[in-house]
Amino acid sequence: MNEMSEETSKAKEYQRKKQILTLFNLFFTPAVLLLIILSPLSLQWKLWSISVGGNAYLAVAIYFVCLSVFMLIFDLPLSFYSGYYLEHRYGLSNQSWKSWVKDLCKRSLLSFVISCVLLEALYALIWYSPNLWWLYAWCGYALVSYVMGKLFPVLIVPLFYKYSRVTDEHLNHEILDLAKRFDLPVENVYALNLSRTTKKANAAFMGFGKTKRVVLSDTLINNFTVEEVKTVVAHELGHYKHHDVWRHFGFGVLISCLSFWIAYQLIGPMASYLGYYGAHDIACMPLLFLIFYVFGIVLTPLHNGFSRWLERGADRFAIAACPEKNVFASCMEKLGSMNLADPDPNPIYEWFFYDHPALRKRIRMIQTDPA
């Protein structure tokens, strides 16, 4: 009991620090964007980008470099404290300093390249269709989201981790037999060397079409019993059976339509009030980001509530497929212990930020579910 109490206390302490960082960053990012918008910085970057770039598209790229470097300077201490120091402080990281910096550089560069390409396309739409750019941008966003969903498992994940086949033949047989029982055409069950960076355990259902796959971290496979791993896999198969990837995709596309329309409605009047020319003015880029960011914050509880509803459905599928409720409970408790999850977070924080129900709620729901 004392050992469990100390473990729960450690988890709560770790999560409390992570939550403070999350809340700080929630207001810190828009504060930095406001600093850029209300100071001469944005106009200076614009003039410099135009003079150096020579054409509108190169000016967009140069301006985005200035903005990205400025944001990175402010964000770097937070990223280090949250992603490196805290993870080592609480014994969750296996990553060396050099490896962490290397991954940070890869993530930052990848994010910059993708974002820059999308920004160039966005400004092309704004310049050539001032009244309908938001609609075309929304259609483009939906297409890019679909393509990235297909490419993420096969192109992005391998930049950081390695896939391998599940080598435990008994476990592999049990997983495939589980899928066959429910007529689920799942042939791709992969192990991922998550232990390269962390001691945490995880599993996921990824991809669309031919790239769809169930992915299990090696930390999960190595520390959980076969029955517990089957329960986790059953949860992921529940997402597949319920078409949750498509439901997430559809929900995101609908929300993004409203987001682009609101940005279109607000950018003109706000730019005029602040002394900018309008959406086509690259000096308005931080303002455009701020509008999307604030709208995203407002919709965070709705998005996470939808996600928690899907997760509860996947949990019910898991317990129907693997009806040993004590195995499900032990699996959740072990996941919570390995990930230092707070079993009972603040209800308001959970409502706003959690995309999964809290662990104790998941266990309680399964134990009291008559099915």
- CB-based contacts of 43, cutoff 8 Å, min separation 6: 283
Are the C-beta atoms of residues 195 and 139 closer than 8 Å to each other?
A: no
Predicted confidence (pLDDT) at residue 180 exceeds the cutoff of 80: yes
Long-range contacts, 93-100 (Cβ 8 Å, 24+)? 93/197, 93/198, 93/199, 94/195, 94/196, 94/197, 94/198, 94/199, 95/196, 95/197, 95/198, 99/196, 99/197, 100/197
**CA distance readout (Å), 63 to 20, 59, 117, 123:** 32, 6, 13, 12
pLDDT above 70 coverage of the chain, percent: 95
Q: Which of 76-85, 183-192, 200-209, 232-241 has the highest mean pLDDT?
A: 76-85
Stronger pLDDT, 248 or 167, i.e. the higher one: 248
User: In 10 A of CB 292, how many CB atoms?
Assistant: 15
pLDDT tens for each residue of 273-328: 998 888 999 999 999 999 999 999 999 999 999 999 999 999 999 998 888 888 99
Tell me what pLDDT residue 151 has.
85
Transcribe 79-130 into DSSP letters.
HHIIIIIHHHHTT-B---HHHHHHHHHHHHHHHHHHHHHHHHHHHHHHHH-T
Question: SS3 of 199, please?
Answer: coil
171 confidence band (pLDDT: 50, 70, 90): confident
Predicted confidence (pLDDT) at residue 338 exceeds the cutoff of 60: yes
Are the C-beta atoms of residues 68 and 139 closer than 8 Å to each other?
A: no
Tell me what pLDDT residue 356 has.
92
Give the whole-angstrom CA distance, residue 125 versus residue 113: 19
Are the C-beta atoms of residues 84 and 24 closer than 8 Å to each other?
A: no
186 confidence band (pLDDT: 50, 70, 90): low
Q: Tell me the whole-structure pTM to 2 decimals.
A: 0.89
Predicted confidence (pLDDT) at residue 188 exceeds the cutoff of 70: no
Tell me what pLDDT residue 42 has.
95
From 189-198, 207-216, 288-297, 343-352, the region with the lowest mean pLDDT:
207-216
Q: What is the mean pLDDT of the chain?
A: 90
1 confidence band (pLDDT: 50, 70, 90): very low
Predicted confidence (pLDDT) at residue 129 exceeds the cutoff of 80: yes
Tell me what pLDDT residue 285 has.
96
Tell me what pLDDT residue 371 has.
52
Tokens found for residue 38: 């209300």
Predicted confidence (pLDDT) at residue 368 exceeds the cutoff of 90: no
Q: Residue holding tokens 């495939």?
A: 176
pLDDT tens for each residue of 13-23: 999 999 999 99
Question: SS3 of 344, please?
Answer: coil
Tell me what pLDDT residue 2 has.
46
Tell me what pLDDT residue 86 has.
94
